[in-house]
């Protein structure tokens, strides 16, 4: 309860932006770990460590509310877990094949589609089109040399991300605090565990690898998903999707700082388009006073 109270003091758009930075920094560290572990093993570490933290933190809430769960609640949590597993697995496989910023740019087509589907005001369409122009501009520089398997994995991650946006809102309405996220993390971990164990082998037991996996899990899962679940209680899904237009820009910057992927002038111009769209969407949200999702 105190956690939710503290998060209530932060504006909902701020929660989304903090989550974006956290998840992309985690992605940068994860990509550097690919030299020692395959992406599927890194995803397993990420989901497993975040699952342990979330289950521990929410254990009292889980125990108190378990008898109140309906089959519908459990189905939503399971679907949420499937979307998390698919999104994480696919984007990490994409990271292994194409640059971080480009992979996230392609993945962004998922939340962009959610934003378009839920838009009812012409001004929202303007911001979506501006962000879409930035996505196309960001892709143009490297599109001729992109690994097609990496592109396909990024597209799959985008579809899973769109499902995540919808299911995270539904999970936040059905479960108190982060308990729904904890249940979804259990499902997601169980789904990727067989693949991760088979590809990672005994390397997954090394103390240094476990420590890095724990840090990636906190940065890429626990912190951003908790922030986004709280934000989605106060933001409509369409606005959340538009705010997430910052994702390609942050990913490109993280790719430069942490991974050493150099940005081109065309990519910097694309970043400007995406940032402008995000700022515009945030400003119009203040005048529209949208209703928050049902608690």
Decide which of 86 and 139 is more confident. Answer: 86
Q: What number is the average pLDDT over the span 62-68?
A: 79
Decide which of 41 and 104 is more confident. Answer: 41
User: pTM to 2 decimals?
Assistant: 0.79
| DSSP assignment string, the chain | -HHHHHHHTS-HHHHHHHHHHHHHHHHHHHHHHTTTS-HHHHHHHHHHHHHHHHHHHTHHHHHHHGGG--HHHHHHHHHHHHHHHHHHHHHHHHHTTS-HHHHHHHHTHHHHHHHHHH--SHHHHHHHHHHHHHHHHHHHTTGGG--HHHHHHHHHHHHHHHHHHHHHHHHHHHSSTTHHHHHHHHHHHHHHHHHHHHHHGGGGG-HHHHHHHHHHHIIIIIHHHHHHHHHHTTS-HHHHHHHGGGHHHHHHHHIIIII--PPPHHHHHHHHHHHHHHHHHHHHHHHH-PPPPP-
Looking at the structure of the chain, the number of domains it has is 1
Of 123, 47, 116, 107, give the one whose Cα is nearest residue 251. Answer: 107
Contact 223, 21 (CB under 8 A): no
- Give the chain's mean pLDDT: 80
Report yes or no on 123 lying in a domain.
yes
Report yes or no on 280 lying in a domain.
yes
% residues pLDDT > 70 (the chain) = 84
Q: Please report which confidence band the pLDDT of residue 44 belongs to, taking 50, 70 and 90 as the band edges.
A: very high
Query: 292 — alpha (psi -120 to 50), left (phi > 0) or beta?
Result: beta
Highest mean pLDDT among 27-31, 109-113, 166-170: 27-31
Of 153, 157, 167, give the one whose Cα is nearest residue 109. Answer: 157
Report yes or no on 213 lying in a domain.
yes
Report yes or no on 282 lying in a domain.
yes
Which of 35-39, 238-242, 268-272 comes out lowest in average pLDDT?
Answer: 238-242
Model pLDDT for residues 200-232, shown as the tens digit of each residue:
888 888 888 888 888 998 898 778 877 877 787
Report yes or no on 293 lying in a domain.
no
Of 229, 221, 228, give the one whose Cα is nearest residue 50. Answer: 221
pLDDT in the model for residue 179 = 84
Decide which of 240 and 148 is more confident. Answer: 148
The residue written with tokens 């940065």 in the block is: 219
Contact 162, 170 (CB under 8 A): no
pLDDT in the model for residue 115 = 66
DSSP annotation of 236 reads -
pLDDT in the model for residue 156 = 95
Report yes or no on 113 lying in a domain.
yes
Q: Please report which confidence band the pLDDT of residue 80 belongs to, taking 50, 70 and 90 as the band edges.
A: very high
pLDDT in the model for residue 293 = 31
Instruction: Give the pair of three-digit tokens for residue 244.
Output: 């997430």
Q: Please report which confidence band the pLDDT of residue 191 belongs to, taking 50, 70 and 90 as the band edges.
A: very high
pLDDT in the model for residue 279 = 65
Contacts of 222 (CB under 8 A, 6+ apart): 50, 53, 54
Which of 69-78, 123-132, 214-223 comes out lowest in average pLDDT?
Answer: 123-132
Q: What three-state secondary structure class fits 98?
A: coil
Give the range of the structural domain holding residue 69, as residue numbers without chain letter: 2-288
Report yes or no on 134 lying in a domain.
yes
Report yes or no on 206 lying in a domain.
yes
């Amino acid at each position: 309860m105190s956690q939710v109270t503290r998060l209530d003091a932060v504006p909902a758009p701020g929660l989304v932006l903090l989550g974006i930075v956290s998840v992309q920094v985690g992605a940068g560290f994860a990509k550097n770990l690919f030299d020692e572990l395959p992406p599927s093993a890194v995803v397993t570490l990420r989901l497993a460590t975040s699952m342990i933290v979330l289950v521990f933190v929410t254990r009292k809430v889980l125990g108190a509310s378990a008898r109140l769960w309906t089959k519908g609640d459990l189905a939503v949590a399971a679907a949420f877990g499937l979307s998390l597993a698919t999104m994480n697995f696919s984007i990490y496989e994409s990271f292994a094949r194409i640059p971080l910023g480009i992979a996230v740019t392609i993945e962004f087509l998922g939340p962009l589609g959610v934003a378009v589907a839920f838009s009812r005001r012409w001004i929202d369409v303007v911001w979506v089109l501006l962000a879409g122009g930035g996505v196309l501009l960001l892709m143009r520089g490297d599109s001729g040399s992109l690994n097609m398997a990496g592109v396909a994995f990024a597209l799959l991650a985008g579809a899973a991300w769109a499902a995540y946006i919808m299911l995270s809102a539904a999970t936040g309405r059905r479960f108190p605090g982060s308990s729904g996220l904890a249940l979804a993390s259990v499902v997601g971990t169980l789904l990727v565990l067989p693949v991760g164990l088979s590809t990672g082998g005994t390397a997954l037991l090394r103390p240094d690898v476990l420590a890095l996996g724990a840090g990636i899990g906190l940065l890429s899962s626990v912190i951003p998903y908790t922030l986004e679940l709280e934000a989605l209680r106060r933001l409509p899904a369409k606005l959340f999707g538009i705010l997430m237009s910052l994702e390609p820009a942050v990913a490109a910057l993280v790719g430069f700082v942490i991974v050493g992927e150099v940005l081109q002038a065309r990519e910097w111009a694309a970043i400007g388009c995406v940032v402008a769209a995000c700022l515009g969407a945030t400003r119009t949200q203040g005048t529209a006073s949208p209703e928050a999702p049902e608690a």
